[in-house]
Homo-oligomer: A and B are copies of this chain.
Amino acid sequence: MQHFADRLQAAIIEKQNPTVMGLDPMLSYVPERIVSFYQKEVDDPLLATGLSIYEFNRRLIDSVHDLIPAVKPQLAYYEQYGIHGMEALRQTITYARKKNLLVILDGKRNDIGSTADAYARAYLGQTRWIDGTEKAAMSADALTINAYLGSDGIVPFLKQAKEHGKGLYILVRTSNPSAGDLQDLKLEDGRTVYEAMASLVSDWGKDMIGDSGYASAGAVVGATWPQQAETLRHLMPHTPILVPGYGAQGATADDTMPNFDQHGNGAIVNASRSLMCAWKKHEMDHEQFEQAARKEAMAMKQALREALQKSGRWQ
Protein backbone atom coordinates (compact mmCIF):
# COMPACT_ATOMS: atom_id res chain seq x y z
CA MET A 1 0.00 0.00 0.00
CA GLN A 2 1.12 3.55 -0.73
CA HIS A 3 2.86 5.62 1.96
CA PHE A 4 0.41 6.86 4.64
CA ALA A 5 1.52 10.51 4.74
CA ASP A 6 1.28 10.72 0.95
CA ARG A 7 -2.18 9.13 0.94
CA LEU A 8 -3.38 11.52 3.63
CA GLN A 9 -1.98 14.59 1.86
CA ALA A 10 -3.62 13.53 -1.42
CA ALA A 11 -6.96 13.05 0.33
CA ILE A 12 -6.73 16.46 2.05
CA ILE A 13 -5.95 18.14 -1.27
CA GLU A 14 -8.77 16.29 -3.03
CA LYS A 15 -11.32 17.36 -0.41
CA GLN A 16 -9.67 20.77 0.03
CA ASN A 17 -10.18 20.25 3.74
CA PRO A 18 -7.68 19.31 6.48
CA THR A 19 -10.38 18.04 8.85
CA VAL A 20 -10.66 14.67 10.54
CA MET A 21 -13.96 13.79 12.22
CA GLY A 22 -13.64 12.13 15.60
CA LEU A 23 -16.02 9.20 16.05
CA ASP A 24 -16.30 8.97 19.84
CA PRO A 25 -19.83 7.68 20.30
CA MET A 26 -21.76 7.56 23.55
CA LEU A 27 -25.18 5.91 23.57
CA SER A 28 -26.61 9.23 24.79
CA TYR A 29 -25.54 10.85 21.47
CA VAL A 30 -27.70 8.41 19.47
CA PRO A 31 -31.18 9.79 18.77
CA GLU A 32 -34.34 8.08 20.00
CA ARG A 33 -35.38 6.90 16.53
CA ILE A 34 -32.31 4.63 16.24
CA VAL A 35 -32.28 3.56 19.89
CA SER A 36 -35.95 2.55 19.97
CA PHE A 37 -35.62 0.62 16.70
CA TYR A 38 -32.82 -1.61 18.02
CA GLN A 39 -34.40 -1.92 21.44
CA LYS A 40 -37.54 -3.29 19.78
CA GLU A 41 -35.86 -5.45 17.15
CA VAL A 42 -32.95 -6.98 19.10
CA ASP A 43 -33.42 -9.00 22.29
CA ASP A 44 -29.90 -8.75 23.72
CA PRO A 45 -29.47 -5.21 25.13
CA LEU A 46 -25.65 -5.41 24.77
CA LEU A 47 -25.90 -6.30 21.08
CA ALA A 48 -28.64 -3.68 20.57
CA THR A 49 -26.29 -1.09 22.10
CA GLY A 50 -23.47 -2.04 19.72
CA LEU A 51 -25.76 -1.96 16.68
CA SER A 52 -27.09 1.49 17.66
CA ILE A 53 -23.56 2.82 17.98
CA TYR A 54 -22.65 1.47 14.56
CA GLU A 55 -25.72 2.93 12.90
CA PHE A 56 -25.00 6.33 14.49
CA ASN A 57 -21.47 6.23 13.07
CA ARG A 58 -22.61 5.03 9.64
CA ARG A 59 -25.08 7.88 9.37
CA LEU A 60 -22.47 10.44 10.43
CA ILE A 61 -20.10 9.06 7.79
CA ASP A 62 -22.83 9.20 5.15
CA SER A 63 -23.53 12.82 6.03
CA VAL A 64 -19.97 14.15 5.65
CA HIS A 65 -17.88 11.62 3.64
CA ASP A 66 -17.74 13.88 0.58
CA LEU A 67 -16.46 16.80 2.67
CA ILE A 68 -13.66 15.30 4.79
CA PRO A 69 -10.63 13.11 4.09
CA ALA A 70 -10.52 11.05 7.31
CA VAL A 71 -12.23 9.86 10.48
CA LYS A 72 -10.70 9.24 13.90
CA PRO A 73 -12.51 6.67 16.05
CA GLN A 74 -11.33 6.83 19.67
CA LEU A 75 -10.97 3.27 21.00
CA ALA A 76 -12.11 4.01 24.57
CA TYR A 77 -15.66 4.72 23.40
CA TYR A 78 -15.89 1.28 21.79
CA GLU A 79 -14.11 -0.58 24.60
CA GLN A 80 -16.68 0.78 27.07
CA TYR A 81 -19.31 -1.27 25.18
CA GLY A 82 -17.25 -4.48 25.39
CA ILE A 83 -17.09 -6.89 22.49
CA HIS A 84 -20.22 -5.41 20.90
CA GLY A 85 -18.50 -2.04 20.97
CA MET A 86 -15.40 -3.52 19.36
CA GLU A 87 -17.57 -5.12 16.66
CA ALA A 88 -19.18 -1.70 16.05
CA LEU A 89 -15.67 -0.28 15.66
CA ARG A 90 -14.63 -3.00 13.22
CA GLN A 91 -17.71 -2.36 11.08
CA THR A 92 -17.20 1.41 11.31
CA ILE A 93 -13.62 1.08 10.05
CA THR A 94 -14.74 -1.14 7.16
CA TYR A 95 -17.56 1.25 6.24
CA ALA A 96 -15.37 4.36 6.42
CA ARG A 97 -12.72 2.83 4.18
CA LYS A 98 -15.43 1.78 1.71
CA LYS A 99 -16.44 5.44 1.59
CA ASN A 100 -12.83 6.33 0.73
CA LEU A 101 -12.05 7.85 4.11
CA LEU A 102 -8.73 7.29 5.85
CA VAL A 103 -9.08 5.90 9.36
CA ILE A 104 -6.85 7.23 12.12
CA LEU A 105 -7.46 5.07 15.16
CA ASP A 106 -6.99 6.97 18.40
CA GLY A 107 -5.82 4.43 20.98
CA LYS A 108 -2.71 6.05 22.47
CA ARG A 109 -1.32 2.51 22.72
CA ASN A 110 2.07 1.90 24.30
CA ASP A 111 4.18 -1.03 25.38
CA ILE A 112 7.47 -2.70 24.52
CA GLY A 113 8.82 -5.54 22.39
CA SER A 114 6.39 -8.31 21.52
CA THR A 115 3.52 -6.51 23.27
CA ALA A 116 3.98 -3.35 21.19
CA ASP A 117 4.19 -5.63 18.16
CA ALA A 118 0.86 -7.23 19.12
CA TYR A 119 -0.83 -3.79 19.28
CA ALA A 120 0.74 -2.80 15.96
CA ARG A 121 -0.40 -6.01 14.29
CA ALA A 122 -3.88 -5.64 15.80
CA TYR A 123 -4.57 -2.27 14.18
CA LEU A 124 -2.01 -1.76 11.39
CA GLY A 125 -0.77 -5.22 10.45
CA GLN A 126 -2.03 -8.77 10.33
CA THR A 127 -2.81 -11.58 12.75
CA ARG A 128 -1.98 -15.23 12.16
CA TRP A 129 -5.13 -17.29 12.78
CA ILE A 130 -5.56 -20.94 13.70
CA ASP A 131 -5.87 -22.09 10.06
CA GLY A 132 -2.54 -20.45 9.19
CA THR A 133 -4.08 -17.54 7.28
CA GLU A 134 -2.87 -14.00 7.98
CA LYS A 135 -5.57 -11.36 8.09
CA ALA A 136 -6.06 -8.03 9.84
CA ALA A 137 -8.15 -8.11 13.04
CA MET A 138 -8.99 -4.43 12.40
CA SER A 139 -7.42 -2.50 9.58
CA ALA A 140 -6.94 1.20 10.26
CA ASP A 141 -4.65 3.54 8.29
CA ALA A 142 -2.91 5.02 11.34
CA LEU A 143 -2.79 4.66 15.11
CA THR A 144 -2.00 7.16 17.87
CA ILE A 145 0.69 6.00 20.32
CA ASN A 146 2.35 7.22 23.53
CA ALA A 147 6.16 7.13 23.76
CA TYR A 148 6.73 7.38 27.53
CA LEU A 149 8.52 3.99 27.28
CA GLY A 150 11.15 5.22 24.80
CA SER A 151 12.27 3.79 21.48
CA ASP A 152 11.80 0.08 22.40
CA GLY A 153 8.12 0.97 22.55
CA ILE A 154 8.12 2.69 19.16
CA VAL A 155 10.27 0.50 16.91
CA PRO A 156 7.69 -2.34 16.65
CA PHE A 157 5.04 0.19 15.60
CA LEU A 158 7.39 1.79 13.04
CA LYS A 159 8.16 -1.64 11.61
CA GLN A 160 4.50 -2.59 11.07
CA ALA A 161 3.68 0.89 9.74
CA LYS A 162 6.49 0.69 7.17
CA GLU A 163 5.62 -2.84 6.13
CA HIS A 164 1.95 -2.06 5.53
CA GLY A 165 1.99 1.58 4.35
CA LYS A 166 0.39 2.72 7.61
CA GLY A 167 0.97 5.73 9.86
CA LEU A 168 1.51 6.66 13.50
CA TYR A 169 0.84 9.77 15.54
CA ILE A 170 2.92 10.04 18.69
CA LEU A 171 1.79 12.24 21.61
CA VAL A 172 4.02 15.31 21.92
CA ARG A 173 2.01 18.19 23.44
CA THR A 174 -1.57 17.27 24.28
CA SER A 175 -4.56 19.63 24.27
CA ASN A 176 -5.69 19.31 27.90
CA PRO A 177 -5.25 21.94 30.66
CA SER A 178 -2.85 19.81 32.75
CA ALA A 179 -0.78 18.62 29.76
CA GLY A 180 2.09 20.54 31.27
CA ASP A 181 2.24 18.49 34.52
CA LEU A 182 4.87 16.34 32.84
CA GLN A 183 5.26 17.69 29.30
CA ASP A 184 6.31 21.22 30.33
CA LEU A 185 8.93 20.23 32.90
CA LYS A 186 12.21 21.99 32.12
CA LEU A 187 15.24 19.84 31.42
CA GLU A 188 18.75 20.81 32.52
CA ASP A 189 19.67 21.44 28.86
CA GLY A 190 16.98 24.16 28.64
CA ARG A 191 14.48 22.14 26.61
CA THR A 192 11.09 21.06 27.87
CA VAL A 193 10.02 17.41 28.03
CA TYR A 194 7.70 17.96 25.05
CA GLU A 195 10.54 19.47 23.00
CA ALA A 196 12.71 16.44 23.84
CA MET A 197 9.83 14.22 22.75
CA ALA A 198 9.51 16.21 19.51
CA SER A 199 13.18 15.53 18.67
CA LEU A 200 12.67 11.81 19.29
CA VAL A 201 9.56 11.80 17.07
CA SER A 202 11.37 13.65 14.29
CA ASP A 203 14.21 11.08 14.47
CA TRP A 204 11.89 8.09 14.46
CA GLY A 205 10.33 9.30 11.20
CA LYS A 206 13.49 10.25 9.35
CA ASP A 207 13.74 7.10 7.21
CA MET A 208 10.06 6.95 6.36
CA ILE A 209 9.54 10.28 4.56
CA GLY A 210 7.32 10.06 1.49
CA ASP A 211 7.01 12.05 -1.75
CA SER A 212 4.90 14.61 0.12
CA GLY A 213 7.95 15.49 2.24
CA TYR A 214 6.22 14.10 5.31
CA ALA A 215 7.00 11.02 7.38
CA SER A 216 4.55 8.28 8.30
CA ALA A 217 5.47 8.89 11.95
CA GLY A 218 3.46 11.94 12.98
CA ALA A 219 2.88 13.91 16.17
CA VAL A 220 -0.13 14.92 18.26
CA VAL A 221 -0.02 18.63 19.15
CA GLY A 222 -3.05 20.20 20.82
CA ALA A 223 -4.70 23.16 19.06
CA THR A 224 -5.04 24.81 22.45
CA TRP A 225 -1.29 25.65 22.48
CA PRO A 226 -0.56 27.72 19.33
CA GLN A 227 2.75 29.07 20.67
CA GLN A 228 4.14 25.61 21.39
CA ALA A 229 2.90 24.49 17.96
CA GLU A 230 5.05 27.21 16.34
CA THR A 231 8.18 25.81 18.01
CA LEU A 232 7.20 22.21 17.33
CA ARG A 233 6.53 22.79 13.60
CA HIS A 234 10.18 23.97 13.34
CA LEU A 235 11.58 21.13 15.48
CA MET A 236 9.76 18.53 13.36
CA PRO A 237 9.88 19.79 9.75
CA HIS A 238 8.95 16.40 8.22
CA THR A 239 6.41 15.33 10.83
CA PRO A 240 2.69 15.46 10.01
CA ILE A 241 0.69 16.79 12.93
CA LEU A 242 -2.68 15.63 14.23
CA VAL A 243 -4.32 18.58 15.97
CA PRO A 244 -7.02 17.87 18.57
CA GLY A 245 -8.74 20.53 20.65
CA TYR A 246 -10.71 22.43 17.97
CA GLY A 247 -14.30 23.33 18.80
CA ALA A 248 -15.56 21.69 21.99
CA GLN A 249 -12.14 22.14 23.67
CA GLY A 250 -12.07 25.84 22.77
CA ALA A 251 -9.44 26.27 20.04
CA THR A 252 -10.26 28.27 16.90
CA ALA A 253 -9.17 27.74 13.28
CA ASP A 254 -6.54 30.49 13.75
CA ASP A 255 -5.12 28.63 16.77
CA THR A 256 -4.42 25.57 14.60
CA MET A 257 -2.44 27.47 11.94
CA PRO A 258 1.08 27.15 13.42
CA ASN A 259 0.83 23.37 12.91
CA PHE A 260 0.65 23.83 9.11
CA ASP A 261 3.69 24.54 6.91
CA GLN A 262 3.88 27.60 4.63
CA HIS A 263 1.99 25.73 1.88
CA GLY A 264 -0.87 24.78 4.17
CA ASN A 265 0.28 21.14 4.38
CA GLY A 266 1.48 18.91 7.20
CA ALA A 267 -1.45 19.04 9.60
CA ILE A 268 -4.98 17.74 10.05
CA VAL A 269 -7.43 19.19 12.58
CA ASN A 270 -9.73 16.94 14.58
CA ALA A 271 -13.29 17.74 15.65
CA SER A 272 -15.29 15.17 17.59
CA ARG A 273 -18.14 16.39 19.77
CA SER A 274 -18.54 19.61 17.77
CA LEU A 275 -19.56 17.47 14.76
CA MET A 276 -21.18 14.45 16.47
CA CYS A 277 -23.32 16.70 18.69
CA ALA A 278 -23.66 19.67 16.32
CA TRP A 279 -27.45 19.54 16.72
CA LYS A 280 -27.00 21.10 20.16
CA LYS A 281 -24.98 24.07 18.94
CA HIS A 282 -27.32 24.73 16.01
CA GLU A 283 -30.40 24.25 18.22
CA MET A 284 -31.69 21.59 15.86
CA ASP A 285 -33.68 18.50 16.78
CA HIS A 286 -31.59 15.52 17.99
CA GLU A 287 -33.10 13.45 15.14
CA GLN A 288 -31.44 15.87 12.70
CA PHE A 289 -27.92 15.07 13.93
CA GLU A 290 -26.78 14.17 10.40
CA GLN A 291 -27.86 17.48 8.87
CA ALA A 292 -26.35 19.34 11.84
CA ALA A 293 -23.03 17.47 11.48
CA ARG A 294 -22.91 18.33 7.78
CA LYS A 295 -23.69 21.98 8.46
CA GLU A 296 -20.95 22.15 11.08
CA ALA A 297 -18.44 20.26 8.88
CA MET A 298 -19.01 22.80 6.11
CA ALA A 299 -18.58 25.68 8.55
CA MET A 300 -15.34 24.13 9.87
CA LYS A 301 -13.98 23.60 6.35
CA GLN A 302 -14.76 27.23 5.57
CA ALA A 303 -13.15 28.46 8.81
CA LEU A 304 -9.96 26.47 8.17
CA ARG A 305 -9.76 27.68 4.54
CA GLU A 306 -10.16 31.28 5.63
CA ALA A 307 -7.55 30.92 8.35
CA LEU A 308 -5.12 29.28 5.90
CA GLN A 309 -5.68 32.08 3.38
CA LYS A 310 -5.44 34.84 6.00
CA SER A 311 -2.13 33.44 7.26
CA GLY A 312 -0.76 33.23 3.71
CA ARG A 313 -0.61 29.44 3.70
CA TRP A 314 -3.12 28.89 0.92
CA GLN A 315 -3.74 30.95 -2.21
Contact = CB atoms under 8 A, between A and B. Distances in A.
Contacts of A200: 181-182
A214 interface: no
A145 to B, nearest CB: 10
A244 to B, nearest CB: 9
A52 B129 CA distance: 11
Contacts of A146: 108, 110, 146, 148
B127 A81 contact: yes
A186 B193 CA distance: 10
Contact of A45 (B45, B119, B131, B178): B131
A121 B150 CA distance: 28
Interface string A75-108: 0110111110111001000000000000000001
A119 B76 contact: yes
Given A76-B111, A150-B183, 7 more contacts: A26-B118, A76-B115, A77-B118, A80-B122, A83-B83, A83-B86, A150-B178
Interface in A168-205: 171, 174-183, 185-190, 193, 196-197, 200
Contacts of A112: 174-176
A175 B149 CA distance: 9
A137 B45 contact: no
B187 A113 contact: no
A116 interface: yes
A93 B112 CA distance: 23
User: Of A52, A152, A197, which is in contact with the most chain B CB atoms at under 10 Å from its CB?
Assistant: A152
Majority secondary structure, A binding face = helix
A80 B118 contact: yes
A24 interface: yes
Interface of A: 24, 26-27, 35, 38-39, 45-46, 48-49, 52, 74, 76-77, 79-83, 85-87, 90, 108-116, 118-119, 121-123, 127-131, 133, 137-138, 146-153, 171, 174-183, 185-190, 193, 196-197, 200
A285 B85 CA distance: 39
A86 B76 contact: no
A119 B85 CA distance: 12
A71 to B, nearest CB: 16
B83 A90 contact: yes
A194 to B, nearest CB: 10
20 contacts: A39-B130, A45-B129, A45-B131, A45-B133, A49-B129, A76-B115, A79-B119, A79-B137, A80-B137, A82-B138, A83-B86, A108-B109, A110-B146, A148-B148, A149-B174, A150-B180, A150-B182, A182-B196, A185-B187, A185-B193
A315 B253 CA distance: 65
Given A87-B83, A90-B83, A187-B186, A151 B115 contact: no
User: Of A26, A35, A176, A186, which is in contact with the most chain B CB atoms at under 10 Å from its CB?
Assistant: A176
A24 B115 contact: yes
